[in-house]
């Protein structure tokens, strides 16, 4: 998770239970204090480990929060609901449910803000959070193409750009709705959003 274990066959192994306790304590601290007022000393106390153990495993607060928040997105799935619209609505509702949790709100945006000045942190966010979400877009499009709801891809480069565009639109809309507008992305909103995404603003004859 937080660091590779390439060649350390000997010696006392790192406690995996401590890892889970630390990440859970981090989420609890995010809920109670938020990301800015979260201190590593407090997390260590909550997790029942020494503060030095935290610094031995993570480079700093940002990396710790990324790993703690990333686990929230493990539950994201894309069940086949029979149509592109239903698939979109289903996965967007799941994404919204995760973002509605206070530890995700406070933690995720804070580390994204930090990542604008930290290339390594942005890469960590990308591999452990963003790419996992983007895979759902790829999967959903493949299903829609198999159903004939979307045309098959022609140019692979153009196809990749489209996937990136869709991903930014979907994830960005949900994030903006939840965090900036601070209103719930409930079923009614998701239905309206899906309709606009599939059919566009201008009504078709």
Partner DNA sequence: AGCTTTCGCTACGAGTCGTAGCGTAATGCC
Partner DNA sequence: GGCATTACGCTACGACTCGTAGCGAAAGCT
Q: Is 82 left (phi over 0), alpha (psi -120 to 50) or beta?
A: left
Cβ proximity to DNA: between 42 and 149 the closer is 42
Beta-carbon neighbour count of residue 32 at 10 Å? 13
Q: How far is the CB of 60 from DNA (least distance, A)?
A: 5
Note the Cα 176 to chain centre separation in Å.
Answer: 14
* Chosen from a second copy, DNA, none, partner binding at 13 (C-beta under 5 to 8 Å by type): DNA
Q: Does 172 bind DNA (CB under 7 A)?
A: no
CB of 9 to DNA, least distance (A): 5
Least CB distance to DNA at residue 18 (A): 5
For 36, list phi and psi in degrees, rounded to 5: -75, -35
With a CB cutoff of 8 Å and minimum separation 6, the contacts of 25 are 43, 44, 46, 47
Is the Cα torsion angle 185, 190, 196, 198 positive or negative in sign? Answer: positive
**Within the chain, how many helices (H) and strands (E) appear?**
10, 0
| Binders in 30-69 for a second copy, by CB under 8 A | 34-36
Shortest Cβ distance from residue 105 to DNA (Å)?
20
Show the binding pattern over residues 32-51: x = contacts DNA (CB under 7 A), - = does not: -------xxxx-----xxxx
* Binding site partner of 14, from DNA, a second copy, none, Cβ cut-off 5-8 A by kind: DNA
Selection from DNA, a second copy, none that 48 binds (CB < 5 to 8 A by kind) is DNA
Nearer to DNA, 63 or 89 (CB): 63
Sign, CA dihedral 145-150-155-160, equals: negative
Residue 86 and residue 84: Cα distance in Å, rounded? Answer: 5
Residues of the shown chain interacting with a second copy in the complex, contacts defined by CB under 8 A: 34-36, 84, 102, 105-106, 108-110, 112-117, 122, 125, 130, 149-151, 161-162, 164-169, 171-177, 179-183, 189, 192-193, 196-204
């Amino acid at each position: 998770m937080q660091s590779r274990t390439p060649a350390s066959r000997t010696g006392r192994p790192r406690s995996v239970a401590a890892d889970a306790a630390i990440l859970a304590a981090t989420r609890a601290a995010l809920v109670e204090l938020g990301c800015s007022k979260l201190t590593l000393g407090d997390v260590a106390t909550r997790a029942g480990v020494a503060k030095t153990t935290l610094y031995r495993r993570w480079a700093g607060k940002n990396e710790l929060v990324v790993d703690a928040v990333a686990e929230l997105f493990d539950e994201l799935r894309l069940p086949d609901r029979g149509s592109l619209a239903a698939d979109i609505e289903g996965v967007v509702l799941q994404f919204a449910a995760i973002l509605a949790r206070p530890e995700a709100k406070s933690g995720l945006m804070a580390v994204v803000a930090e990542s604008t000045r930290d290339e390594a942190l942005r890469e960590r966010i990308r591999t452990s959070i963003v790419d996992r979400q983007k895979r759902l877009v790829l999967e959903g499009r493949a299903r829609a193409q198999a159903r004939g709801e979307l045309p098959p891809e022609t140019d692979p480069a153009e196809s990749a750009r489209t996937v990136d565009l869709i991903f930014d639109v979907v994830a960005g809309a949900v994030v903006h709705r939840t965090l900036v507008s601070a209103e719930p992305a409930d079923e009614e909103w998701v239905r309206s959003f899906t309709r606009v995404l599939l059919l566009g603003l201008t009504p078709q004859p």
